Amino acid sequence: MPIPTKVFISSVAQDELSPLREKAFADLARLGHDPQMFEKNFGPWPMNASGVKHCLDKVSECDLYFLYMHTRGGSMTPSGQTVTHLEFLQAVKENKELILYATAPILDHYFRNVRWAIKGYLENQKKATGKIPDNREVVDYLEIQSELSGSSIPSKHVYEMYVWVMLHDIIDKHGLYVEALPLGSEVPWESYLSDKLRQGLNLLPKAPALMESVQLANQFGHYTDFSLRVLLDHLSITDFINLPRLLNRVIRALHGAEITYGPVKSAVGRVEKCSAVSLFHQESHILKITGFAGDTDGNRDFDVNDPDSFVSYTYLHVGEDTPALFYDQSKRMIYLTFKMKEYVISYHFPEATRWDQQLFATYTQEIIDGIINEHANDMIFQFMNSILGGLQK
């Protein structure tokens, strides 16, 4: 007997959203699916389950998660996150298929003004205190800013500040696409689910080959992890043999990348293949150039506390083996850096399409993901980081 698709309908309880929720439930049921909605079919609750846990359990049971955001953030929990936010995080954790919508004014305010306010606040607080503010601190900051004269952040009396916190998590932390849906509109379930059926039918004949590919990928990943850990933990590397030649090999191996955004992978730009690599070693208060190769005139050292050096910033503020990205608009160059112990390595990627500072700031994470995920780039970065981590001076 066919098993209907379970669809979890998630949104804050607002009168304005009731017609949308009711219509979504009715449409999905009419199409033969199994919609799950709090006010319709969540009960009875298990005796030993809280209301929040029961909602999260329902998310776990679903096949598809549908979220619609408006002006309210939802009921706060002791975790510092709203119930709606926790539902979303549960769906992401369990790799559920996602449909994410928000009203158009919400997205317009977020992308025009609020996104930059949150980004600036987080960066300034991390630089000043060494830690990232939690959700409550971000909400408090936005509330204060929204009440200032001439503020571009909408008043808390119109939009609950947690709406912006959740959008930031969805868009900027998880890199997901939220589509605009005007209030009062209907979700085009028939066309959306028909497209999912088409995708599934295309994959069914390829299932055996896909399973074999997954198995081989898991085996290769296990081998790679083992090899890198051995290199890092059990071998003592005292020096490089012909470092310039090694760095030139790295340059030739690293590919350029198409930078895309959202689930439909819309192109927003491109970076060329790597053109140069520079390696720095911390000696006292100096980050000394140890080696460089490629198209760069960067044969110079930096003071560890140089406020204008992205190499110094990486050394002081970026965690080990964590990618950081910087952009020099005058040179049309993007720099991807890593810190490993007392080393900083910088990879130079020329822009292929013209960027600017605002575009770069908007798509920083997408650029990092695009470069790292292109071809074998990620494995090359990991390999070099493991060498630097095991190098003994």
Q: What confidence tens digit (pLDDT) does each residue in 4-60 have?
A: 999 999 999 888 888 999 999 999 999 999 999 988 887 656 655 577 888 899 999
pLDDT tens for 179-235 read 998 888 888 888 888 888 888 888 878 878 878 887 877 777 777 777 767 766 776
Asked whether residue 78 falls in the same domain as residue 160, the answer is: yes
Asked whether residue 98 falls in the same domain as residue 177, the answer is: yes
Asked whether residue 183 falls in the same domain as residue 241, the answer is: no
Residue that is last in its domain, among 123, 154, 187: 187
Indicate whether 202 belongs to any domain.
no
pLDDT tens for 44-94 read 566 555 778 888 999 999 999 999 999 999 888 888 899 999 999 999 999
Reported confidence tier of residue 310, pLDDT bands at 50, 70, 90: very high
Give the torsion sign (CA, 231, 236, 238, 241).
negative
CA–CA gap between residue 235 and residue 390 (Å, rounded): 7
Asked whether residue 175 falls in the same domain as residue 247, the answer is: no
CA–CA gap between residue 327 and residue 136 (Å, rounded): 31
Asked whether residue 182 falls in the same domain as residue 64, the answer is: yes
Asked whether residue 165 falls in the same domain as residue 245, the answer is: no
User: Is residue 263 pLDDT above 70, yes or no?
Assistant: no
Query: At residue 356, what are phi and psi to the nearest 5 degrees?
Result: -140, 175
Query: At residue 212, what are phi and psi to the nearest 5 degrees?
Result: -65, -40
pLDDT computed for residue 264 by the predictor: 47
User: Is residue 386 pLDDT above 90, yes or no?
Assistant: no
CA–CA gap between residue 281 and residue 315 (Å, rounded): 10
Name the percent of the chain lying above pLDDT 70.
Answer: 95
Indicate whether 283 belongs to any domain.
yes
Indicate whether 216 belongs to any domain.
no
Average pLDDT value over all residues in the chain: 88
Asked whether residue 69 falls in the same domain as residue 166, the answer is: yes
Asked whether residue 22 falls in the same domain as residue 139, the answer is: yes
User: Three-state SS for 183?
Assistant: coil
Indicate whether 242 belongs to any domain.
yes
CA–CA gap between residue 237 and residue 389 (Å, rounded): 9
CA–CA gap between residue 62 and residue 36 (Å, rounded): 8
CA–CA gap between residue 175 and residue 264 (Å, rounded): 12
Indicate whether 212 belongs to any domain.
no
Asked whether residue 141 falls in the same domain as residue 246, the answer is: no
Query: Which of the 8 DSSP states describes residue 241?
Result: S
Asked whether residue 142 falls in the same domain as residue 38, the answer is: yes
Indicate whether 109 belongs to any domain.
yes
Count up the domains in the chain and report the number: 2
Bridging pattern class, strands 64-69 and 97-102: parallel
Asked whether residue 130 falls in the same domain as residue 246, the answer is: no
Q: Inter-axis angle of helices 18-30 and 189-203, to 10 degrees?
A: 50
Q: What is the CATH number of the domain that holds 244?
A: 3.30.450
Give 26-68 as a DSSP string: HHHHHTT-EEE-HHHH-PSPPTT--HHHHHHHHHHH-SEEEEE
Indicate whether 63 belongs to any domain.
yes
Of the candidates 247, 249, 255, the one whose C-alpha atom is nearest the C-alpha of residue 345 is: 247
Any residues with CB less than 8 A from the CB of 175 and at least 6 apart, and which? Answer: 365, 366, 369
Q: What is the CATH number of the domain that holds 21?
A: 3.40.50
Domain with 19, as residue range(s), is 1-187
Query: Which of the 8 DSSP states describes residue 16?
Result: G
162, 88 in Cβ contact below 8 A? no
CA dihedral 246, 247, 250, 254 (to 10 degrees): -170
User: Is residue 267 pLDDT above 70, yes or no?
Assistant: yes
User: Is residue 250 pLDDT above 70, yes or no?
Assistant: yes
SS3 content of the chain, % helix, strand, coil (to 5): 45, 20, 35
Asked whether residue 247 falls in the same domain as residue 371, the answer is: yes
pLDDT tens for 127-158 read 788 788 889 999 999 999 999 888 889 998 89
